[in-house]
Amino acid sequence: MGGKSGRTSQFAAAVLLAVNFTAMIFSGMLFAFSLWVIASPATLSSAIEKLDSPVLKTLLAPQALSVSLGVALAVLALFFFFVSFMGFYGAITKSQFLLFMYSALILLLLLLECALLYYFTSTLVEKGLQIQDGQWTHALRIAFSCCENNFNVTSAEAIKLPWSCCGRTFYPDNCTMPDMFRRDCQPAISSWLHRYLTAIYASLAATHIVLSSCSLLRRARSHS
């Protein structure tokens, strides 16, 4: 019985170590990126311009690379690094306090992620893409090969279309009415969400519950 419990604890520890070590690496990379944004946005903008990715060039446009963005990314990276290190170090040392706090934070993050996901997806379903939503709309137009319905007009009036309404090859401002996607973004996104949103919620819940359960299993073994 003790051997089986020990193997279960070792497996839980292995899961925690692998997942949290990977998360710590990505957190470190995000923190380094945030420092680059803060320290030298001009060189970062020059590096992005050399990439063959219109989406990245738009999302990380020079005007978007502000100190406030860098600080926000740095805080986010430090928070995730802290949580990941808590799970990583707790799995090694079998600290009951760290493992319990890690399990609680993972479940709280699940609730927060589900709330944010519900807010943004419900907004997309109700309103569709809006011009004031910002640069991330370009990525959604390209992903769904769509354009907003309010651009689908037949009048001769000149309308400056977002480049992403025609695809990435029309970056930065070569999109015209004859080349634009005819698919309306709102029903396209709504249909995709109706098909996959439940699976996304289930994946989020499963991932967080597995990590939380592994943490509690490791804690229970250390207590025994």
Phi/psi region, residue 167 (left: phi>0; alpha: psi -120 to 50; beta: rest), is left
Question: Whole-prediction pTM value?
Answer: 0.81
* Residue 155 backbone dihedrals phi, psi, to 5 degrees: -70, 165
Asked if 185 and 148 touch (Cβ cutoff 8 Å), the reply is yes
Asked if 63 and 45 touch (Cβ cutoff 8 Å), the reply is no
156: pLDDT strictly greater than 50: no
The C-alpha atoms of residue 124 and residue 141 are separated, in whole angstroms, by: 12
The SS3 call for residue 147 is: strand
Asked if 178 and 191 touch (Cβ cutoff 8 Å), the reply is no
* 13-72 tens-digit pLDDT: 999 999 999 999 999 999 999 999 999 988 988 888 888 778 788 778 777 788 998 999
